[in-house]
Structure 1
Amino acid sequence: MNCCLEIEAVARRIGGRDVLRHVDLALPEGELLVLAGESGSGKTSLLRLIAGLDRADAGRISLGGRLVDDASRLFVPAEGRGLGMVFQDFALWPHLSCLENVALALPPGTARRNEAALALLERLRVAAVSARRPAQLSGGQQQRVGIARALASRPRLLLLDEPLSSLDLESRDLLREELRESVRGAGISAVLVSHDPEDCWKLADSVAVLEAGGISQQATPMALWRAPASPYIARFTGALGGIRLPVTTRDGVPGVELGGRHLIPSGPPPRGGMARLFWRGDAVRPACAAREAISAEAVSVTFEAGRFHVRWRIAAQGPVLSGYCQEAPTVPGRQAVGIDPRGLFWFDADAPPRP
């Protein structure tokens, strides 16, 4: 596998605090990686190291097989790495037109610079505003011009620091499609920093999740959804819950007890006597078979985009589980509820953030 980017045991310390700790990451040629994580997890710090805007305190960074940062022994600055960058705040030159912004980023010696720049603006659907200055554009138009400018330098790797977060919902959806088409059309790799799960589902070939300064999981979006490696990733991928339950053993098999059923969630058993349990919204639903049914009381129902979000209480003083169904149950009211263990995930109840 040819890698556009390889990061090995990288660490970064800022103000006496370990921002990044032993980060390992690989990005194959031609793929788009979403770097996800909470605020303060180290996403932007890692992007700055890749870009050459900061220097790693330990570890190695290679671009296309070329070593560009080896802690104190070797460091190639940003201008020598051949990267394209797109920022959250657009960072266009305000005194230049859109066409001039893009044309100036083209490699020296490019023939018919204005035609080449206009072709990039057409690809991003902003050719009609090529003569305008950035202040005359909407936020979505400015970001499209910023992406066109980044592509103009013909980078091997494109870095994007939350480029969609300041846009409205409709602009984000449209720009996601255009960004993915443009990156694939240019045949380059990209790293996009985001805290929005939609970017993972709609843009990513793979997702790397940063927690507590390290990569807690790198996987395809489907693998991340099927087997989240931490409570944060479970939540990030849309899982519900997070309740604490005792770990019980029946016939030598650890699980959790809910409504008299011994359920075995996905993933390795928690190491302590307590678990944090998460589940997919469709794993808790009105029962369709008597053998799987448990009795629960519907305590609240809300309508959410074509379906009902229901909270069921298991037993009088038992836990409350939520799930989705197409028809609203009576509130309050007893109902037979089924729980699919394939949609359950458990983790150590008191485990620190990974890694």
Structure 2
Amino acid sequence: MQKGHSAVLTGLGAWLPPRVVDNDALSQRLDTSDEWIRTRTGIRERRIADPDTSTVDMAVQAGANALRSAGSDLVDAVVLATSTPDYVCPASAPQVASALGLSGIAAFDVNAVCTGFVYALATGGGLIAGGMADRVLVIGADVFSRLCDPADRGTVPIFGDGAGAVVLRRGLADEPGALGPFDLHSEGDNADLLIVPAGGAKQRESDDPRDHYVTMHGQAIFRHACARMAESARAVLERAGLEIDDVDRFVAHQANIRILLATAKQLKLPEDRVVANIGHAGNTSAASIPLALADACEDGSLQPGHRVLLTAFGAGLTWGSTLLTWPDVKPG
């Protein structure tokens, strides 16, 4: 890799399931209301995948749209960020690659939950920087609604399903779309703050069906998310030699509108620079950042030349950030 080269975003794709579930529909079966959900999360509705739609299905749709946006279906690797793979074994990315007509290339999953897309961007960029790939398809896809206890009003209203993707190509570090620097972290001591206890190798089965659903300590997650994303955002700006005033758009993981605004407040970033689509998409885990980027492109709030700060926080705990100047790219 020649000095001065980087991974450059050159394509963008998104896909949401067609089924819309609004707050009123949830209030008919849960002890909740539209007002309760909106005031605590900012969510009005979310998309929920039909029973026969899987993570692979959604990833294929978003990936195909990103390849269309990039103007080429030739890539050397597929990196899929997901915490809801179709199977515990094998990984889902090879199936996605084959469905896209890319059988034979490198394809693997990355699981950093809601930080997964940022981790996957760093991984795809690393493949390019290491000379192992010229073009990489990076996808974030989750059907997180299936990890929610249907009777739990604390998680069901929050999570939605969806997929988003970008194509990265080898390019110059100073051109629009170039990613970096990156800032990535984890803290496994707090893994129990957001966890699905059963189903893995440690606890394959459980007598309590609730152990197969996500449990979340909301207040602790709120505190960690705001603090960690703000710290990471500051770190990546410092590495780039930039100030918060240099940021035109702040695209954070769409966890909760209060988390988004509280993090922006910690950074002293004006609210009008915060990109938010959580109102109609909900928390789509690894898909949330590319979906937010696609929505911002569609509504015109994200324009070529905008300096964009991406940051995310998720279970694990994991968190991370990166920067780019938005290129002349539209969703496929």
Task: Tell whether the structures are fold-level matches, with TM greater than 0.5.
Answer: no
Greater length-normalized contact order (CA 8 Å, ≥ 6 residues apart)? 2
TM-score, normalised to structure 1, is 0.24
Larger Rg: 1
For normalisation by structure 2, the TM-score amounts to 0.25
